[in-house]
Amino acid sequence: MARKVAIRRLGDNVRLTGKTVLITGASRNIGKCMALAFAKEGADLVLNTKSNREELDAVTRECQDLGARVHSVIGDVSVADQAQKVVEAGLKHFGKIDVLISNAAIRPHTPILDVSIEEWHQVLAVNLHATFYLCKAVLPSMVKRHSGNIIALGGGYAPNMGLPNTAAVSASKLGLEGLIRVVATEMGPHGIRANLLMAGSTDTERRHPEWYPERRESGWTAPENLSRTPLRRQGKPEEVAAACLFLACDESSYVTGSHLWCNGGVYSG
């Protein structure tokens, strides 16, 4: 088994050998699929989740079985000092971080008149502030090395279409778009890229059904919901991970300040 892993990591198709990738929200769903996809491509991984050590350790083992070197870090990246510690742990362990993937997010659907002040601040903290904190922590080392890549998970189509019941989510994701554009503009002269991956409805485990009251009866795969998507289906986490892999690899080396839509065609503005 070890011999096969070594051959795969050194093969011609391994695109991230020698790169260190930090992924937040890596314990399940899209983040887990990203971790596995990047492990197969030879990356060293810094994997983060907020609190579930058991799930993160399971993903770590799967990535290690694929031949990846992995350092896992528990920390709430929506809190500035914890985000700093997550980045510092990765830098200390591997000596560098080449790619930051800010994936952790929450998406409660609440009518605007019912959004509490607490919920508003929580959504912005996780979806927007965390990316800012992570960028502040990782960019100095990237500037010093004149190389780096920031990828943030954008807002699909809800912020761009004014989807009802998404005031906090839409505000946070539109703010994220502005942040990433500025990072791309300011950091480009330092050899650093920044892009948004705009994932649409994806077939993931949703542990907070109360966040999506409009789907309690119809479900995510009801014909009336899928009819809004030209491909007439939800995306797969593996498909989102593959799109992220493109942004992380040298194949996209002239792509920065951009959106990559991975949403089945539901919106492409």
Q: What distance in Å separates the CA atoms of residue 158 and residue 197, rounded to the nearest whole number?
A: 14
CA distances from 209 to 5, 36, 110 (A): 39, 26, 12
Report helix angle 80-94 to 130-145, nearest 10: 30
Residue 216 pLDDT > 60: no
The confidence score (pLDDT) of residue 266 equals 76
Task: Show the tokens assigned to 17.
Answer: 């050998």
The confidence score (pLDDT) of residue 230 equals 74
Residue 5 pLDDT > 50: no
Q: What distance in Å separates the CA atoms of residue 247 and residue 255, rounded to the nearest whole number?
A: 8
| Whether 154 contacts 173, CB under 8 Å | yes
- The model's pLDDT over 121-152, given as tens digits with 9 standing for 90+, comes to 999 999 999 999 999 999 999 999 999 999 99
Q: What distance in Å separates the CA atoms of residue 74 and residue 47, rounded to the nearest whole number?
A: 8
Topology (CATH level 3) of domain 2-262: Rossmann fold (3.40.50)
- The model's pLDDT over 38-80, given as tens digits with 9 standing for 90+, comes to 999 999 999 999 999 999 999 999 999 999 999 999 999 999 9
Task: Please identify which residue in the block is written with the tokens 């050194």.
Answer: 10
| Whether 7 contacts 1, CB under 8 Å | no
Residue 12 pLDDT > 80: no
Residue 217 pLDDT > 60: no
Residues 6+ apart with CB under 8 A from 145: 96
Which segments within 131-171 are labelled E, that is strand? 148-153
- Average pLDDT score over the chain: 87
Residue 204's pLDDT band (boundaries 50, 70, 90)?
Answer: low
Report helix angle 167-187 to 117-124, nearest 10: 30
The confidence score (pLDDT) of residue 221 equals 55
In the predicted model, what is the mean pLDDT of residues 26-30? 92
Task: Show the tokens assigned to 138.
Answer: 């990782």
In the predicted model, what is the mean pLDDT of residues 211-224? 53
| Whether 149 contacts 247, CB under 8 Å | yes
Q: pTM to 2 decimals?
A: 0.87
